[in-house]
Amino acid sequence: MSELKLITCIVQRGKAEKVVKEAIRAGAEGATVFYARGTGIRQKLGFWGKIITPEKEVILIVTNDKVTDPVFNALIKAGKLDKPGNGFAFVHSVDKAVGFLTNK
């Protein structure tokens, strides 16, 4: 098995379905999505922070090296992550995994 990576992507609630669809189109084999509540910048902005929705969707995608960059780039494009306030994504190395099947 090639080296595995974990892509974590955090987007505004309601945006994950589109982002995951594009990730799968780019080569991801699947994704796990769950809800979360963001804190931090909202509190620092005071009154203006009330317009930032704290509800988020967190997307976890395990990929092999061959598709990590295309999937990551698809997340950026679909989620418009290159624009402030739309979310963010990052990649971790996976040291050990069980149950991850790949056909590629």
User: Can you give the pLDDT at residue 82?
Assistant: 94
- How much is the pLDDT for 38? 74
> Is 53 or 14 the better-scoring residue by pLDDT?
14
Question: 33-37, 39-43, 71-75: which has the minimum mean pLDDT?
Answer: 39-43
Q: Exposed, middle or buried by CB within 10 Å (0-12, 13-18, 19+), for 54?
A: middle
Closest by alpha carbon to 7, among 71, 56, 55, 54?
71
| pLDDT tier at 104, thresholds 50, 70, 90 | very low
Contact in structure between 39 and 54 (CB atoms under 8 Å): yes
pTM of the predicted structure, to 2 decimals: 0.83
Is pLDDT larger for residue 40 or for residue 37?
37
Q: pLDDT of 52-95, one tens digit each?
A: 667 899 999 999 999 999 999 999 999 999 998 789 999 999 99
